[in-house]
Amino acid sequence: MQEHFIRKETSLGVKEAAEKISVVAKEHGFGTLNTLDLQAIMAGKGVEYAEAATVVEVCRPADAKKVLELDQRVAAFLPCRIAVSTQGGKTIAHTIKPSAMIGMLGNIELAKVACEIDEAMEKIINALP
């Protein structure tokens, strides 16, 4: 199952890693749509969560258009989400590969685009120190 994920431990803190992801994503043609501080969101709802957890939502519009034109069900997978969280004192950046999600639709053309997006997401995450 690990092959369905891209994961990297980073020396940065969660906030710094999320900021770096936004910068590097832009270099690869992605825009940052939203950054969600899950710990703060849960605290605002009265739920305490000990670990830091932030999700950076990114999208490369040309790819989104391609995949939506091939199959509207892909909308449920958009945008791409990169999570940055603490686990046992370590900061981890991770995402599920777009190809893993899109693969369940059984469309070869979609799979080709998804593999290209996998490569970009891997470059973004691997740019973290």
Question: Which of 57, 111, 61, 63 is closest to 80 using CA atoms?
Answer: 57
Structural domain including 70 reads 2-126
Residue 52: the pLDDT is 95
Q: State the total domains in the chain.
A: 1
pLDDT tens track for 10-30:
999 999 999 999 999 999 999
Residue 2: the pLDDT is 58
Mean pLDDT of all residues belonging to the chain: 96
Whole-angstrom distance, CA of residue 107 vs CA of residue 116? 15
pTM: 0.93
**The domain spanning residue 90 has which CATH number?**
3.30.310.70
Kind and range of the H or E run holding 76: none
Residue 129: the pLDDT is 97
